[in-house]
C-alpha cells in the first residue's frame, strides 16, 4: 500500500516565497568557488536550505492572492534576500579593499591570476584575501547564524510582508562604509613602510646620482609587502570575527525588526 504526499496550494506558495528569500542571498554571499561552480549546485543548495526550514514555512490563503499580489511578494522576498547577501558580502569586500590598495602600491598589479571565486583576472594578493574571507565565513560559523536568523525571520517577518524603508537602506549603506575604513586601517602600517622605502631610495639616489636605486624599488616593495602580508593574515580571523558582529547586527535588524 503506497504512501501519498499531499501539499495544498497555500503550502506551495509559502515554499515559493521562502525559496526566493533564500536564493536571493546566494547572489552576493561570499561562498568560496560558488560563482565559478555550476548553476545547478547553487540551485540545489538554495533548495536544501529551504527544505530544512520546512517547519517555518507559512501557509498562505490562495483565495487572497492573485497574480499581481504574488509578483509583488516575490519581488519583496528577492529584495530581502539580496539585501542580506549584500550585507554579508561586506565582510569579504573589507579584505579585498585592503588587498587592492596594497596591490597598486607594491606593484603586484602587473601580474594577474584567475580568481577562484569569481573566475575573473585578479592579483595574487586579492585572490588570497578573498579565499581567506570565504573560508573564515564557515570557520567562525557565520553560515549557521545567518540560517538561524532566517528561520526566526519567517516568524517575526512572514514572507510577503517585507518593505525596504529609507532608514533600513541608510543603515545598509552606513554599514557598507566599513569596507573602506576597515580595509584602509588594515593595510595602513604596510603603506607607511612602503612610503618610507620610497623616500629612503629617493634620498639615496639624490645623494649619489650614479646609483640606480629606483630600479630596485619594485623588488624591495614587493618582497616587503609579501612578508608583511603573510604576517597580516594571522590577524584576519580576529578582525573578521569583530566585523562579523556588526554585520550580524545589521542582518538581525533587517530580518527580525
Crossing angle between the packed helical segments 166-176 and 67-106, to the nearest 10 degrees: 20
Band (pLDDT 50/70/90 cuts) for residue 257 is low
Band (pLDDT 50/70/90 cuts) for residue 2 is very low
Contacts of 214 (CB under 8 A, 6+ apart): 201, 202, 205
Strand partners, 122: 113
Instruction: Flag whether the pTM goes above 0.85.
Output: no
Give the pLDDT confidence of 130-145 residue by residue, as tens digits.
888 888 888 888 888 8
Give the pLDDT confidence of 161-192 residue by residue, as tens digits.
676 677 777 888 888 888 888 888 888 888 88
As given in the structure block, the three cell numbers for residue 149 are 536568523
- Kindly tell me if the per-residue pLDDT of 32 is higher than 50: yes
pLDDT (0 to 100) of residue 142: 83
Neighbours of 150 (CB within 10 A): 23
Proportion of the chain above pLDDT 70, given as a percent: 81
As given in the structure block, the three cell numbers for residue 143 are 553560515
Give the pLDDT confidence of 83-93 residue by residue, as tens digits.
888 888 888 88
Phi-psi map region of 98: left, alpha, beta (phi>0 left; psi -120 to 50 alpha): alpha
Give the total residue count for the chain. 257
Amino acid at each position: 500500500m503506497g504512501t501519498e504526499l499531499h501539499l495544498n496550494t497555500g503550502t506551495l506558495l509559502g515554499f515559493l516565497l521562502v525559496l526566493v528569500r533564500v536564493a536571493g542571498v546566494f547572489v552576493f554571499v561570499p561562498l568560496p568557488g560558488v560563482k565559478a561552480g555550476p548553476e545547478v549546485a547553487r540551485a540545489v543548495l538554495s533548495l536544501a536550505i529551504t527544505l530544512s526550514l520546512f517547519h517555518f514555512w507559512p501557509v498562505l490563503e490562495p483565495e487572497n492572492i492573485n497574480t499581481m499580489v504574488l509578483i509583488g511578494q516575490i519581488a519583496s522576498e528577492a529584495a530581502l534576500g539580496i539585501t542580506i547577501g549584500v550585507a554579508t558580502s561586506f565582510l569579504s569586500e573589507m579584505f579585498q579593499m585592503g588587498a587592492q590598495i596594497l596591490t597598486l602600491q607594491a606593484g603586484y598589479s602587473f601580474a594577474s591570476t584567475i580568481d577562484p571565486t569569481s573566475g575573473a583576472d585578479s592579483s595574487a594578493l586579492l585572490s588570497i584575501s578573498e579565499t581567506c574571507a570565504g573560508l573564515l565565513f564557515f570557520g567562525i560559523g557565520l553560515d549557521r547564524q545567518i540560517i538561524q536568523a532566517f528561520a526566526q525571520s519567517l516568524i517575526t517577518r512572514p514572507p510577503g510582508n517585507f518593505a525596504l524603508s529609507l532608514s533600513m537602506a541608510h543603515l545598509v549603506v552606513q554599514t557598507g562604509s566599513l569596507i573602506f575604513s576597515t580595509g584602509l586601517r588594515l593595510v595602513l602600517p604596510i603603506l607607511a613602510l612602503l612610503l618610507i622605502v620610497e623616500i629612503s631610495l629617493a634620498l639615496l639616489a639624490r645623494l649619489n646620482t650614479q646609483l640606480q636605486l629606483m630600479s630596485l624599488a619594485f623588488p624591495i616593495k614587493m618582497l616587503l609587502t609579501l612578508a608583511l602580508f603573510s604576517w597580516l593574515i594571522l590577524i584576519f580571523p580576529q578582525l573578521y570575527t569583530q566585523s562579523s558582529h556588526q554585520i550580524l547586527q545589521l542582518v538581525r535588524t533587517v530580518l527580525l525588526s
